[in-house]
Structure 1
C-alpha cells in the first residue's frame, strides 16, 4: 500500500502513545499480527470499509476480532473508522513498525532458505547481518524457497545478500559462457 501523510500522522500518534504507556514492544508485536489479519482476510477489511454497515457495527466487529490485542490499537482502528480512513490501516501499521524499528535499532529481514531455520540459526543470522546494516538486531521472517538448492538469501529493506547455491551456479554459468 502507498504511504500517505494521514497514515504517517496516525502512526506517529499511536507510536507516541505506546511510548508514553511503555507498551512499544507489545504494540509493535500486536500490530504485526493485525497486519497479517488484514492481509490474509481481505473480507474483514471489506466489511470495515463497507458503507452498508454502520460505524457502531464496524467498531463492535473490531472489538471482537481484535479482543486479545492492546486496547490502544483497537482504539486507533476505531478512530480510522470514525474518520473514514480504514483504508489507511495497513499503511499506518507499516509506518508504526518502521518508527519502532528505527527507535529500537532493529530492521526487518526476510531470510529465504530451503528448510525452516532453527532458533540458533536465526540468532546467528541476526547477529551477523545486523552489524552489516548498522542495526542492533534483525526481526527475521523465514521463507522457504526450494529453488535456492542450498544456502540462504537475505533481504533487509532494499539490500539483498545472496549466498545461495543457485546464485553461485548462475554466477559460474555467466563466467563460463561469457
Structure 2
C-alpha cells in the first residue's frame, strides 16, 4: 500500500476520534507542529525513516519533542511506532491538516513572489483567493523566488495563475523565435 494511502487512513482515523471527543483544535495544533517540525528538520525526517534506529528510541524522541501534545496524539505516536509506520508520520500530519481545512472551509493557496510580502499585499492575495474559491478563510503559504524578476505565481486548488515577469519574457522570446 502506498505511503499516502496509509497516511490518509491514519489521518482519517485520528481526525474522526478528535472530532468525536471534541478535541479537534488541540490535535490539529499538534499535527501542525509535527508537520512543521519534520518539514524543518532533515535529521528528524531521516531518523523516522531509518530502519537502523529501534522503535523505542524513535518513540522516546517523539515524546520528548512533542511531550506537551494531547493524549490522543501521544497514543497515536505509540500506535504508529508499534506498527512500524513512523516514516509516514509527516504525511499523516499533512493529510490531517487537509482534512481539518476541508471541514473548516479553509482554502489553501501558495503565492510565489520575488520578494517578501507586505501585510497589504498578503491581505490582497488572501482576498483574491477568497473571491476565486468562494471560501471564507484562506491559508496562504508564501515562497520567495528571485528568478521571477517581478510579478507573482498563485496556486489555488491545483490551478496556477502565473503573472511573473520571467514567464512574460519567456513567452516573448518564443514569439520572437517563431
**What range is the shorter-chain TM-score in?**
0.7 to 0.9
Partner of 2:139: 139
1:41-73 deviations in whole A, cap 9, x for unaligned?
Answer: 243344445555554433222111112444432
Partner of 1:39: 39
Structure 2 CA distance for aligned equivalents of residues 116 and 26 of structure 1: 30
Where structure 1 has 5 or more consecutive residues not aligned to the other structure, the ranges are none
1:72-83 alignment to 2 at 5 Å?
A: 72-83=72-83
Answering whether residue 24 of structure 2 is matched by residue 14 of structure 1, we say no
TM-score by length of 1: 0.82
Segments of 4+ in structure 1 off by > 6 A? none
TM-score by length of 2: 0.82
Answering whether residue 28 of structure 2 is matched by residue 28 of structure 1, we say yes
Partner of 1:113: 113
Contact 2:129 2:156 in 1 (8 A): no
Partner of 2:148: 148
Matched residue pairs, number?
177
Where structure 2 has 5 or more consecutive residues not aligned to the other structure, the ranges are none
More divergent stretch after superposition (111-120 vs 29-38): 29-38
Contact 2:11 2:95 in 1 (8 A): yes
User: Cα RMSD between the aligned structures?
Assistant: 2.5
The DSSP-based 3-state class of the residue aligned with 1:163 is strand
